[in-house]
Structure 1
Amino acid sequence: MLGHAGHTRLLKTGCPHLDAFLGGGIDTNGITEIAGEAGAGKTQLALQLTLQAQLPPAEGGLGGAAVYLYGGTANVEPALRRLHQLADAFAKRHWRVQADCELLKNNVYVLQIEDPDDLWRTVSERVPALLGQHSVRLLVIDSIGGVYRGQDEESALSARTMHGQRAQQLLRLAAKLKELAHKFDIATVVLNQVVDKPSDGQNRRTAAPWELGACGTPDGSMRVPALGLAWSSCVNTRLVLTRRAASALMPESAAVAPYDSMWRRHLHVAFSPRLPMGAEAPFWVREEGVVGAVAA
């Protein structure tokens, strides 16, 4: 294990530009949500955080391992391959603190989650055991929207009954996550999908400023984080990742990974107890990880 356990209030992202934008990094002792459409960079950033968390506090880490809960029906193998790629680049970048690729990979405990009941059992039973036995300092759920979307598709209950039950499940889950965060002094990062929200008059009148801004689409509708107000009320900090076509904006000399050559991504602050609402920062997803896009 790199570093040592101890209280650290912020977990850096691994990019100084994004860290400056986030006022130093990701908070511990609360729930930070990272929401966005598929391909926006949520998993990329979360995997980077699992490696960053293992650095000593003096290097912007938390000096501990990470638990990565991978939920829904998605195949976990692509995420694991990307983790291994990032770990190799990360070890080379942090050789001065004896970062080792194999050790970095082994200190990320990946658990597959099948459904909301499995998520609850894992968070209430398996995760506390890992936290007690190992020096774990970061918990990631990827993604809560994927876990509950499967429940919605399979439920035979009425919409009102289903949403009521889901709200109770989410409140219980959030209470447990915050209990673990305070007890073990860990950072908790929950990824979430987005859903379409019609932009009729009523929705626009009641929409939050960040919904009309960061979540606005070219056709005038909104793509907002899934699970509604029940989950929104549980989150301490909500970050929204967006992407848009960037081929016309990118300099021909830009050295970016092939999968990033057509997209320009932005990190938006929807709400936070310490960051300005509506702030945004551009970033790229490159082979070595997520990095802030800074003008030359």
Structure 2
Amino acid sequence: EEEDIRSLPLPSELKSRLLGAGLCLVRHCLLTPPAELAARLGQPLDQCRRMQLTVRDALARCTNDGGGGCGGFRLPDTAETLLLDVARSRAVPSMSASVDRLLQGGLSLCQLTELAGSAGSGKTQLCMQLCASVQLPAALGGLQGGAVYLDTEGSFSPRRQAQIASGLLLHCRRLADRMRQRRLPPGDDDDGNGVEGGGDGGDGPLTKEHLKALNEVSSLTVEQVMSNIYYFRCLSHVQLCAFAHESLERFLVGHPHVRLIVLDSIASPFRYEFDNAGQRNRQLAELAALLTRLAVSCRLAVLCTNQMTTRFGLTDAADSRVEPALGPSWCHVCNIRLVIERLEGGGGGGGCEDQRRRMRVLKHPAVRAGSSAVFQVCAVGVRDAFQDDVS
């Protein structure tokens, strides 16, 4: 059975335009070369490419195979399509310009990211910051989406989450006031901790999109931010896997605005509850495959925190090193791997030495391994520690 274009959740204007050109089936729209589609619709080539991507997204939303198939029809991916997907993808901002620069804009959508660190390194603090900042309007660097928080360690603090949300809204309102006074677009503010970062800027007109975003932020409340974070407590690997495989996808279908899934942490239920390493690795691989599929099909970011463990040398204790837990079977399934550590004393100034953290890249498709950025965890959440702190 072939999928009719009218069955997809598309804007009525787009449906009418496609049907008027005789493109009644999904495959007709998606397999027609963009140049031919532009000629049939009388539209610019770039607009037709974006139109095909919109149809692809809508089709992926109504399927369960993660590959965009429907009724046995599987969408082909071309290098051009993938490049356009990357170019138009946004990321979840961290509220630290240095971290966002390091990660090429923030926490990547359609990717499974591991965030490893020792106890007290700030993993949960960063997770809660991302749950708040993902809700910012697009014009201010956010995704205007919700977040799902899967807590396996009981480390989530609603009081702290509200404090971070309050700090984010206060920062954005101050930024909005400066933008109105100076009439600058968001990226041109001189605050190093701006939503999208940025340096010095001159005068410039505010667009309708910017004005709308400013009004949205001004009216946003802590309660609204908190109500967009969906919390699930998972006490064991059995509960976690059952929820992930049986309920998570259904929940996302009912909440299509979700743009972030946080699993804090992946290590807690899998590190100590298994005697059989093979069984543990199979369940880990199945869970990772599910989360990756949901990240791609729902166009959201997935962040899994991990603990650190000591790996002893075979012959010499000096060869021992601290590394993320769960071994190579887990690390190979993550698209992006990050480690954060607490920095003790020295530099920074302003009394923030004990709050400073370093994020280091272990694996990233677009960033050199070993690259790092310094940020701080303070009362209002994650912020830059000082200027020019990307190395």
How would you bin the TM-score normalised by the shorter chain?
0.7 to 0.9
- Higher Cα Rg: structure 1 or 2? 2
Q: Which residue of 1 aligns with 2:51?
A: none
- TM superposition shift of 1:199: 3.8
The one of 117, 123, 126 equivalent to 1:45 is 126
SS in 2 for 1:85: helix
- TM superposition shift of 1:202: 8.5
Matches within 5 A, 1:156-235: 157=275, 162-200=276-314, 221-235=320-334
Q: Which residue of 2 aligns with 1:290?
A: 382
- TM superposition shift of 1:20: 1.4
Instruction: Judge conservation of contact 1:242–1:266 (CA < 8 Å) in 2.
Output: yes
Aligned-pair identity in percent equals 33
Determine whether 1:26 maps to 2:83: no
Distance 2:290 2:266 in 1: 14
Q: Which residue of 2 aligns with 1:125?
A: 246
Instruction: Judge conservation of contact 2:124–2:155 (CA < 8 Å) in 1.
Output: no
TM-score (norm 2): 0.62
- Relative to 1, partners in 2 of residues 1:282 and 1:220: Cα closer, same or farther, differing over 3 Å? farther
Determine whether 1:101 maps to 2:222: yes
State the Cα deviation string for residues 123-180 of structure 1 (Å, max 9, x = none): 122222221112211000000111213414xxxx4xxxx1100110011001100111
Instruction: Judge conservation of contact 2:135–2:143 (CA < 8 Å) in 1.
Output: yes
Instruction: Could you tell me which runs of 5 or more consecutive residues in structure 1 were left unpaired when the two chains were aligned.
Output: 1-5, 204-218
Instruction: Judge conservation of contact 1:281–1:292 (CA < 8 Å) in 2.
Output: no
TM-score (norm 1): 0.81
Instruction: Judge conservation of contact 2:117–2:324 (CA < 8 Å) in 1.
Output: yes
Q: Which residue of 2 aligns with 1:281?
A: 373
SS in 2 for 1:174: helix
Instruction: Judge conservation of contact 1:8–1:62 (CA < 8 Å) in 2.
Output: no
State the Cα deviation string for residues 81-107 of structure 1 (Å, max 9, x = none): 210110111122223323311000111
- Relative to 1, partners in 2 of residues 1:288 and 1:220: Cα closer, same or farther, differing over 3 Å? farther
Q: Which residue of 2 aligns with 1:262?
A: 354
SS in 1 for 2:273: helix
SS in 2 for 1:224: strand
Higher strand share: 1
- TM superposition shift of 1:8: 3.7
SS in 2 for 1:87: helix
- TM superposition shift of 1:263: 5.3
SS in 2 for 1:122: helix
Runs of 4+ in 1 over 3 A off after TM superposition: 6-9, 199-203, 261-264
- Relative to 1, partners in 2 of residues 1:9 and 1:262: Cα closer, same or farther, differing over 3 Å? closer
- Relative to 1, partners in 2 of residues 1:188 and 1:202: Cα closer, same or farther, differing over 3 Å? farther
AA matched with 2:244:
V
AA matched with 1:86:
I
SS in 1 for 2:143: coil
- Relative to 1, partners in 2 of residues 1:84 and 1:60: Cα closer, same or farther, differing over 3 Å? same
Distance 1:52 1:66 in 2: 10
AA matched with 1:225:
P
Distance 1:240 1:51 in 2: 21
AA matched with 1:67:
V
- Pairs aligned (count): 259
Q: Which residue of 1 aligns with 2:151?
A: 70
Distance 1:270 1:64 in 2: 28
Q: Which residue of 2 aligns with 1:240?
A: 339
